[in-house]
C-alpha cells in the first residue's frame, strides 16, 4: 500500500507503450459498434404484425386471372420484399460479426494468456461457430447450408425468394394460367418459414445486443496492460494495485482479489497460478519512486501468505528500490518469496515481459 505522498486519482492521462495495442482496441470498439448498428436495422425491415395478419399463408383462394392489385398478388410481393431486405440485413450482420471475431482474436493475441480476454472470445464462441458453418458452406444431407442459427441465415432466403417471385409473376394474371398445387404448397411453406425466421431473428438480435452491451461494459476495450514507469510514479496507490492485478491477469493468473482492505495483513492482490497455487502480493507505491522497501515488509507478507495457505507464494511489487537485507532474507526463503523492484517493474509493465521472465533474473 501507499506510504509516501501520492498523486490523486486521474491526475494524469494514462500513457501506454506502443506495444500496448491501443489501435487494436480502437478497431475492436469500432467492430462492436458496426455490429450493433447492423442489428438495429432489423426493426426497419419487419412489417407490423397487423399488416401481416391481413394476409394468408397459403393463398388458398389463388386462381387464374389474378389482378395486379389483388390481395394474393400484394401478399407475394410483400413477402418477396421482406425476403430481399432480410437477406441484406443478415448479410450485413454476418459481415460485421466476422469482423468482430477477427478483432476479438487480435485483442486476445495481445494477451494470449489473459483470462478476461479469453472469456470474451468464449462468450461469443457459439455465435461464431454458427457463422463458420455458413462461411465454410458445410452441407447437410439435402445438400443445403446447415442452419446452425436459423434466426440469421442469409442463404436460407434464396429458396424463399424464388417461390415468391413465381407467385408474384405477371404470367399468373392470364386467365389461362393458375398456380400449381406444388407452388401453392411451397408458397405456404416458405411464407411460414419466413415469418418464423423473422420471429427468431428478434430473439437473436436481443441476445446479441445484450452480449455487445456487456462487452462494452467489460474490460474488452482496455489496451494490453502496460504503462511507462514515469506514469506509474504518478499513480494513486489504489491505481497501482489494480495495475498489478491487471499485469497478473495478462500473464495468465486468475485474480481473485484486487486492492487491499482493512485487516488484510498486507495482502493487496491475490491470484491463482495455472496449477491453482495462490500468489499473495503486497504492493508498495510512493510518488516518484522515492524510498526503499525494507526487510520487515518482506517478512510480513511472507508470514501472511503462509497463514492463508502453506504453499502460497509471497511477492512484493514496488516502484521503489529494495534494500539489500530484504533481498538477502527473500533469497533464504528459496522459491516462496519473490521481489519486483523498480527495475523489474519497468521490464514487466513497460517492456511487456511476462512475470516469469522478469523473476528469472534473480531476486
Choice between 236 and 140, residue whose per-residue pLDDT is larger: 236
Q: Does residue 77 surpass a pLDDT of 50?
A: yes
pTM attached to this predicted model: 0.65
**What whole-number distance in Å separates Cα of residue 67 and Cα of residue 74?**
10
Rounded distance between C-alpha atoms, residue 281 and residue 310, angstroms: 15
Q: Which residue has the cell 397487423?
A: 50
Taking only the tens place, the pLDDT of each residue in 99-124 is 998 888 888 888 888 877 777 777 78
Helix/strand/coil (H, E, C) string of 216-271?
Answer: HHCCCCCCCCCCCHHHHCCCCHHHHHHHHHHHHHHCCCEEEEECCCCCCCCCCEEE
Element (H, E) at 201: helix 181-217
Task: Yes or no: say if 232 and 93 are a contact pair by the CB < 8 Å rule.
Answer: no
Centre a 10 Å sphere on the Cβ of residue 122 and count the other Cβ atoms it contains.
10
Q: For residue 15, tell me if it sits in a domain.
A: no
Count of the separate structural domains present in the chain: 2
CATH of the domain at 258: 3.40.1350.10
Sequence-distant contacts of 125-134: CB under 8 A, at least 24 apart: 127/97, 127/208, 127/211, 128/97, 128/101, 131/94, 131/97, 131/98, 131/101, 134/94
Q: Identify the domain boundary among 217, 237, 259.
A: 217
Q: Is residue 355 part of a domain?
A: yes
If asked whether residues 243 and 208 sit together in one domain, one would say no
Q: Examine residue 62 and state whether it is found in any structural domain, yes or no.
A: yes
Q: pLDDT band at residue 69, thresholds of 50, 70 and 90? A: low
Domain that holds residue 312: 229-360
Report the 10 Å Cβ neighbour count for 50: 7
Q: 206 and 253 in one domain? A: no
Full DSSP string of 28-42: HHHHHHHHHHHHHTH
* Same domain (yes/no): 175, 263: no
Task: Express each pLDDT in 129-141 by its tens digit.
Answer: 766 654 444 444 4
Q: What's the rounded mean pLDDT across residues 326-353?
A: 88
Q: For the segment 303-329, what is each residue's pLDDT rounded down to a tens digit?
A: 888 887 777 889 999 999 999 999 999
Residue 151 sits in the same domain as residue 101? yes
| Same domain, yes or no: 288 and 331 | yes
pLDDT at 145: 44
Span 164-197, pLDDT tens digits: 888 777 766 655 566 677 877 788 788 878 878 8
Instruction: Based on the fold, state whether residues 201 and 268 are members of the same structural domain.
Output: no
Whether residue 47 is contained in a domain is answered as yes
Query: Is 17 part of a structural domain of the chain?
Result: no
Distance CA 279, CA 335 (A): 12
Which set of grid coordinates corresponds to residue 90? 443478415
Choose between 270 and 360: higher pLDDT.
Answer: 270
Residues 152 and 192 grouped into a single domain: yes
Amino acid at each position: 500500500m501507499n506510504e509516501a505522498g501520492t498523486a490523486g486519482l486521474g491526475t494524469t492521462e494514462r500513457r501506454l507503450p506502443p506495444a500496448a495495442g491501443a489501435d487494436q482496441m480502437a478497431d475492436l470498439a469500432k467492430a462492436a459498434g458496426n455490429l450493433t448498428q447492423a442489428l438495429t436495422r432489423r426493426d426497419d425491415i419487419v412489417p407490423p404484425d397487423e399488416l401481416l395478419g391481413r394476409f394468408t399463408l397459403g393463398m388458398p383462394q389463388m386462381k387464374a386471372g389474378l389482378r395486379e392489385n389483388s390481395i394474393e398478388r400484394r401478399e407475394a410481393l410483400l413477402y418477396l420484399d421482406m425476403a430481399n431486405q432480410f437477406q441484406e440485413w443478415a448479410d450485413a450482420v454476418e459481415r460485421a460479426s466476422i469482423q468482430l471475431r477477427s478483432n476479438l482474436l487480435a485483442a486476445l493475441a495481445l494477451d494470449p494468456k489473459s483470462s478476461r480476454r479469453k472469456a470474451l472470445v468464449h462468450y461469443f464462441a457459439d455465435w461464431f461457430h454458427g457463422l463458420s458453418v455458413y462461411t465454410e458452406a458445410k452441407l447437410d444431407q439435402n445438400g443445403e447450408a446447415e442452419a446452425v442459427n436459423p434466426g440469421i441465415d442469409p442463404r436460407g432466403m434464396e429458396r424463399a425468394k424464388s417461390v415468391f417471385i413465381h407467385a408474384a409473376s405477371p404470367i399468373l394474371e392470364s386467365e389461362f394460367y393458375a398456380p400449381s398445387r406444388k407452388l401453392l404448397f411451397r408458397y405456404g411453406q416458405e411464407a411460414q418459414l419466413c415469418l418464423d425466421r423473422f420471429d427468431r431473428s428478434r430473439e437473436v438480435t436481443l441476445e446479441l445486443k445484450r452480449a455487445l452491451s456487456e462487452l462494452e461494459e467489460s474490460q474488452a476495450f482496455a489496451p494490453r496492460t502496460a504503462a511507462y514507469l514515469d506514469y506509474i510514479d504518478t499513480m494513486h496507490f489504489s491505481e497501482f494495485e489494480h495495475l498489478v492485478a491487471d499485469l497478473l491477469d495478462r500473464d495468465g493468473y486468475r485474480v481473485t482479489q484486487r486492492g487491499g482492505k482493512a485487516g488484510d495483513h498486507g495482502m493487496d492482490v491475490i491470484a491463482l497460478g495455472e496449477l491453482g497455487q495462490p500468489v499473495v502480493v503486497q504492493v508498495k507505491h510512493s510518488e516518484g519512486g522515492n524510498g526503499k522497501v525494507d526487510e520487515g515488509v518482506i517478512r510480513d507478507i511472507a508470514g501472511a501468505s503462509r497463514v492463508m495457505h502453506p504453499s502460497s507464494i509471497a511477492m512484493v511489487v514496488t516502484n521503489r528500490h529494495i534494500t539489500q537485507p530484504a533481498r538477502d532474507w527473500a533469497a533464504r526463503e528459496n522459491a516462496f518469496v519473490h521481489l519486483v523492484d523498480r527495475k523489474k517493474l519497468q521490464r514487466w509493465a513497460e517492456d511487456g515481459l511476462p512475470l516469469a521472465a522478469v523473476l528469472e533474473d534473480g531476486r
